[in-house]
Amino acid sequence: MLSTFAIGEVSRPPTLPTFLCLSSKNLKDRLQHYDAGPEIGTQPTAIAVAKQKWPGKCFVHIFRYRQVVGVVLAACASVLLARHLQRLRLLHRRATTVKMKLQFGLLAAALLAPICEASPKAAGFQPRVVPRSTPCNCTGTIDGGNASSMYICNDSRLGPKILPKMLPLSSFLSDYDRFGGLTPGEYLAKWTTDGSYYYPDLNGFSVDPNGNAINGSLVLDVGALVDRFGSEYGDFLGAADAPYNQRSIPPSSLDTDPTAPLYPYKYYIYEVIKPLEVIAGPIAPWFGQPGLGTQFYTGNVGTILDLIDMGYLARVNASVLVSTTQGCGVGDCPW
């Protein structure tokens, strides 16, 4: 399976804070082992979907594990602090002497001191005011008129103005810096020739110090999930649920194909139906993105449409990355 693993089954659901604290620690321990995996296709920075089975076939999914684990562990610390302060408040109320009340008050202040010291305001920090809406500098772009009004600067090469807000696509794009710090025109000047994007040599694989592509033959097992942003006439796949910026593809790959409205943002996900041999390796940084995700080149066998026709791949709904439940989703879990 690609970047997927499960947390052990439990007999009954714990309370929500307890579940988060325990499973996050478990998840963090597993990630250290996961990152050390030597296999081609293992992504130290890939998204993992942590799956916790509950009675009634109810699952909890945790996306973007690195960010979520950090947030959850911080939340656990906050929960513990709140509990301590609540107990101190009760003891303070029950204290019979002024001295005891003062002692409990000082203890509460000691617990809060590290938070106060870490506050940006305590260091004289002045937050930068960011305007709600900053118009794009569209110099150097091609205005396609009203027919292209859904794109940045009305230029389809720059991708849609509105990025997806629903899972799983929203999680792929949470760290996406579309133009890598450039204006739209500067971005096009850097990454296009004759009006079209140009791609790196060696099929976009990262290279070693000698300039050789870093890749190898790999067989994708039956049941593995792979995905793709872009037309199915291509011959590259990615590890399902990898962040968009690890894929090193241009913003136009997010343009919905009007002839395929059932696949918004031109996103397709596939299940491997029979073993598929591919060339796998890390993706070279390109298009202003860091890359280094894992890509699978299928050109030796055929395009994605060919692989579907030959029975290697089957399209599946993107919701498979959000929930694999049978009538029980995240919101239905019996906390």
226-263 per-position pLDDT tens digit: 999 999 999 999 999 899 999 999 999 999 999 998 89
Please, what sign has the CA dihedral across residues 227, 228, 232, 233?
A: negative
For residue 220, give the DSSP letter: E
Helices 98-118 + 65-94 axis angle, to 10: 160
Domain count, the chain: 1
Does residue 242 contact residue 172 with C-beta atoms inside 8 Å?
yes
H or E element, residue 111: helix 98-118
Is position 131 within any domain?
no
Residue 322: the pLDDT is 83
Rounded distance, CA 85 to CA 79, Å?
10
For residue 177, give the DSSP letter: -
Instruction: Specify the pTM.
Output: 0.59
Is position 308 within any domain?
yes
Is position 260 within any domain?
yes
As given in the structure block, the two tokens for residue 131 are 């305007």
Beta bridge partners of 62: 50
Rounded distance, CA 75 to CA 174, Å?
20
Does residue 321 contact residue 168 with C-beta atoms inside 8 Å?
yes
Rounded distance, CA 294 to CA 238, Å?
6
The residue segments making up the domain with residue 239 are 161-321
Active site residue 12: no
Is position 25 within any domain?
no
Is position 294 within any domain?
yes
Rounded distance, CA 292 to CA 288, Å?
13
Active site residue 228: yes
The three-state secondary structure class of 102 is helix
Does residue 151 contact residue 144 with C-beta atoms inside 8 Å?
yes
Rounded distance, CA 111 to CA 99, Å?
19
Is position 146 within any domain?
no
As given in the structure block, the two tokens for residue 298 are 């299928």
Average pLDDT rounded to a whole number, residues 191-196: 95
Is position 209 within any domain?
yes
Phi, psi at 225, each rounded to 5°? -105, 130
Share of the chain above pLDDT 90, in %: 50
Is position 285 within any domain?
yes
Q: Which of 52, 246, 289, 295 is catalytic?
A: 295
Q: Which of 228, 246, 247, 289 is catalytic?
A: 228
**Distance spanning both ends of the chain, measured CA to CA:** 29
Rounded distance, CA 263 to CA 257, Å?
8
Read off the pLDDT band of 266 (50, 70, 90). very high
Q: Which residue has the higher pLDDT, 19 or 143?
A: 143
pLDDT of 327 higher than 50: no
The three-state secondary structure class of 206 is coil
